[in-house]
Amino acid sequence: MAILVQNTSAASSAPDTTNKPAMAMVTTLFFMWGFLTCLNDILVPHLKSIFDLNYAEVMLVQFSFFSAYFVFALPAGKLIEWIGYKRAMVTGLCTMGLGALLFVPAASAPSFALFLGALIVLAAGMTALQVSANPYVSALGPEKTASSRLNLTQAFNSLGTTIAPYVGSLLILASAPKAAEELRRMTAGALQDYRLSQASSVKLPYVLLAAVLILLGIVIARFPLPQISLSAKAAQEEGAAAETSIWNARHLVLGALGIFFYVGAEVSIGSFLVNYFSQSSIGNMPEKSAAAYVSFYWGGAMIGRFIGSALLQKLRTNRVLGGAALVACLLVLTSVFSTGFVAMWSIILVGLFNSIMFPSIFTLGIAGLGPLTGRGSGLLVAAIVGGAIIPVMEGALADRIGIQTAFLLPALCYTYIAFYGFAGSRRRGAYA
């Protein structure tokens, strides 16, 4: 999942051609945060087995991570105002590197609370990176091709989310976890030794990631990225817009709810796939093998973005969004009410239809806002907190009624998104 932030202020003084070297350099950032975000789907089953957590408890992984978007999005925007886009990107990368390094003491303890703390630091840096990199990409070339550039960078984001589950399965889920009943029969000393052994598997991958992030930060700091600033006219427009409330834009507010439910549904499904595929009635496979199949879920989003890019040139965005959400809902329901091969592949196919949802909701939400676009974008970014709340809700349901039936919650989320596509996205009044 990538954030799409259209910075109309920066675009107002956009160059005539795209700065390809700068575009290539910044695109690497999209790959990195896609990889790190999706690696959480491997951490969820791993930490669940290590600390003998129920589903609601282990979903605190996603809660901690995605809450950072809500907490740090606005401060990140202020940071950009103070130090500029380039330095904000470097700050974000270094903060992410620190968060990755904090996985070492968390694994050495081992402590679930320390793991959550490391995730919060990692996500704080990622928030700063996303809030700065997305509008920067939109301003690296002509305004009319801004969406094309953002779709291209999102494809690399999806490449990261596709690769991460496979790499994580090899490095983090190398050994099979013990059953919960077996853990409860262990002595305190034996249990501590087991947790230390299992938790140590996260050290190497996160130390390597920390090194890559810090090195990338140094490269970005030394790379001659063009400086982009607000024009005087844009600043005047934003000052005038301060007197207007974004809450009067119905399509924006409903769009924020759409982002909330979309991110919540996407993250909920991805977080439970390893445990879901491991069930005897679904995939009946070990966690390491199940993790490899998660790549198909996220890979579908990458393929879908290319297909969606072509469709959106000929079809109305709201109709494509509504249709994709309806199909996603039907696929989830198919998985809920079936078993084996059908249940497994129907939930994997949801990823294909997730692909166009975030950029479509975002585009429809900020349409017609004019000088309020920046503030409207901020509201939509804050709504990513759905990735923190919906998975915890689904975890609580899974503990009571099972993972399979709990997928009814994402189905409801897709129902709302279909409503937004077909009806809720229509602009009214001054925004029509």
DSSP string covering 309-353, please?
A: HHHTTTS-HHHHHHHHHHHHHHHHHHHHT--HHHHHHHHHHHHHH
What does the pLDDT read at residue 11?
Answer: 41
Mean pLDDT of 369-386: 80
pLDDT band at 277 (very low <50, low <70, confident <90, very high): very high
What does the pLDDT read at residue 41?
Answer: 87
Does the pLDDT of residue 162 top 90, yes or no? no
Homologous superfamily (CATH) for 242-432: MFS general substrate transporter like domains (1.20.1250.20)
The model's pTM: 0.80
Does the pLDDT of residue 9 top 70, yes or no? no
What does the pLDDT read at residue 232?
Answer: 40
* Contact present, 73 and 381 (Cβ < 8 Å): yes
Q: What percent of the chain has pLDDT over 70?
A: 87
Q: What percent of the chain has pLDDT over 90?
A: 47
What does the pLDDT read at residue 8?
Answer: 43
CB under 8 Å to 233, separation ≥6 — which residues?
12
Mean pLDDT of 144-168: 78
Does the pLDDT of residue 399 top 80, yes or no? yes
Of the given ranges (21-25, 349-353, 419-423), which has the lowest mean pLDDT?
A: 21-25
More confident residue, 78 or 424: 424
* Contact present, 252 and 361 (Cβ < 8 Å): no
Homologous superfamily (CATH) for 9-223: MFS general substrate transporter like domains (1.20.1250.20)
* Contact present, 185 and 63 (Cβ < 8 Å): no
pLDDT band at 146 (very low <50, low <70, confident <90, very high): low
Give yes or no on whether 9-223 and 242-432 have one common fold: yes
More confident residue, 209 or 235: 209
User: In angstroms, rounded to a whole number, what is the distance separating the alpha carbons of residues 427 and 432?
Assistant: 5
Does the pLDDT of residue 137 top 80, yes or no? no
Segments making up each domain of the chain, as ranges: 9-223, 242-432
Q: Measured at the alpha carbon of residue 328, what is the angle toward residues 322 and 333, in degrees to the nearest 5?
A: 130
CB under 8 Å to 185, separation ≥6 — which residues?
none
Does the pLDDT of residue 6 top 50, yes or no? no
pLDDT band at 151 (very low <50, low <70, confident <90, very high): low
Count Cβ neighbours within 10 Å for each residue of 164-200 and write b for 16 or more, e otherwise.
bbbbbbebbbeeebbeeeebeeeeeeebeebbeebbe
SS3 396: helix
The tokens for 257 are 């709810």
What does the pLDDT read at residue 10?
Answer: 42
